[in-house]
Amino acid sequence: MLLFLQNNIWTILLAFTSGGMLIWSFIGNRVRGIHDIDHIAATQLINHKNALLLDVREKSEFESGHILNSKHIPLGKLGERIGELEKFRERPIVVVCRSGQRSASACAYLGKQGFAHAHNLEGGVMAWQKASLPLEK
């Protein structure tokens, strides 16, 4: 057994690292305080709780198609434009990007700024489109 471990240490380390990364992908956002929601929950928040939809993609991405009534603030500008969101502090905010990665970072930032009701749209605009939900240009 010891000989096997010695001869295959890199393979074993790679397997543990891969496993750790896989586990982190499932629980990482929860650990960071990010609340992921799917397109159904997002639609319910928008329709029943008057949630703000915040699109953090770049301008060209936003212009190519965005969810109806989205407010556009690129992730790189969020810090300097946070004041624009002040009136939404107590409302739910659904944050969206292309795939859910940038919006997760935006949710973490919003949480640190005291926005307790920020939600990350899992899968982003790609998941929204896959569910055959509309975009506007």
Tokens standing for 129?
Answer: 């489109």
> What is the span of the domain harbouring residue 121?
34-130
Give the C-alpha separation, 93 to 100, whole Å.
14
* Domain-located, residue 137: no
> Do 73 and 43 fall into the same domain?
yes
H/E segment holding residue 108: helix 101-112
* Backbone phi and psi for residue 119, each to the nearest 5 degrees, phi listed first: -125, 135
Residue 71 pairs in a beta bridge with 54
Number of domains in the chain: 2
Q: Which of 54, 56, 97, 125 is catalytic?
A: 97
> Do 10 and 45 fall into the same domain?
no
Quickly tell me which residue has 């190519």 as its tokens: 64
* Domain-located, residue 2: yes
Q: In what order do the strands lie in the sheet with 93-96?
A: 35-37, 118-121, 93-96, 52-55, 71-72
Q: What does each of the 137 residues of the chain score in pLDDT, given as a tens digit?
A: 778 767 888 888 888 888 766 665 556 556 566 889 999 999 999 999 999 999 999 999 999 999 999 999 999 999 999 999 999 999 999 999 999 999 999 999 999 999 999 999 999 999 999 999 999 98
**Domain containing 72 — which CATH number?**
3.40.250.10
97 is catalytic: yes
> Do 76 and 120 fall into the same domain?
yes
Give the C-alpha separation, 34 to 53, whole Å.
16
